[in-house]
Chain A
Amino acid sequence: MNVFRLLGDLSHLIAVIILLQKIWHTRSCAGISGKSQVLFALVYTARYLDLVSTYVSLYNTFMKVIFLISSYATIYFIYMKFRATYDRNHDTFRIEFLILPSVLLALLINHQFSFLEVLWTFSIYLESVAILPQLFMVSKTGEAESITSHYLFALGSYRGLYIFNWIYRYWSEQHYDIIAIVAGVVQTVLYCDFFYLYVTKVLKGKKLQLPA
């Protein structure tokens, strides 16, 4: 464990707390893409199946359980409890175009052709594009509530900080996982446009307006 990975995981934890807090307190999931949340639930389910077979550490287990519970809780809020506030018309990204290529790529490019390893690889590839429906929705509505943009900033920072973790681990332990690194870079690059707007607008108290 190193400080970059710890900060990355905390950033991820903060993101899910911000999201749940926003939905619970405003009793609304306006502006939130249910499709991205479905993809995240798929990602964490496929990646954290090893909860039953491998024990890494208490921290590892605790965080996996938190991310699994929070992703399903968010889906419950969006599609059931607060479904009246779900903006279905603006959440139209075809997620099958993200899932199928991730499945195919995981079957073709992986470290080991075993059930858990292919699922892990699938989750890594899918996570790198899972935010697209959300970013697409924000660009369609042309704006995002500031709380939603804080959520996106924390979520984007999580994998961005992991890149520093991978650099550190390569330099200090000669450990690297090329699949996680490439996917993590792709994932972070997808946020760059948003990061720019967040820093130049939201931090100055303006509303986040994406060019539609």
Chain B
Amino acid sequence: PQVEESHDEL
């Protein structure tokens, strides 16, 4: 799965 460097969604 896509490892999120930072979550850009609220």
Binding site for B on A (CB under 8 A): 5, 9, 12, 47, 50, 54, 56, 60, 63-64, 67, 111-112, 117, 120, 162, 165, 175-180
Contact B2 A54 (CB under 8 A): no
The A interface is mostly helix, strand or loop, or mixed, namely helix
A180 proximity list for chain B (CB < 8 A): 9
Binding site for A on B (CB under 8 A): 1-4, 6-10
What's the Cα separation between A67 and B10 when bound, in Å?
10
What's the Cα separation between A47 and B2 when bound, in Å?
18
The B interface is mostly helix, strand or loop, or mixed, namely loop
What's the Cα separation between A111 and B8 when bound, in Å?
15
Contact B2 A177 (CB under 8 A): yes
What's the Cα separation between A65 and B2 when bound, in Å?
27
B1, B6, B7 pick with most chain A CB within 10 angstroms? B7
Contact B9 A5 (CB under 8 A): yes
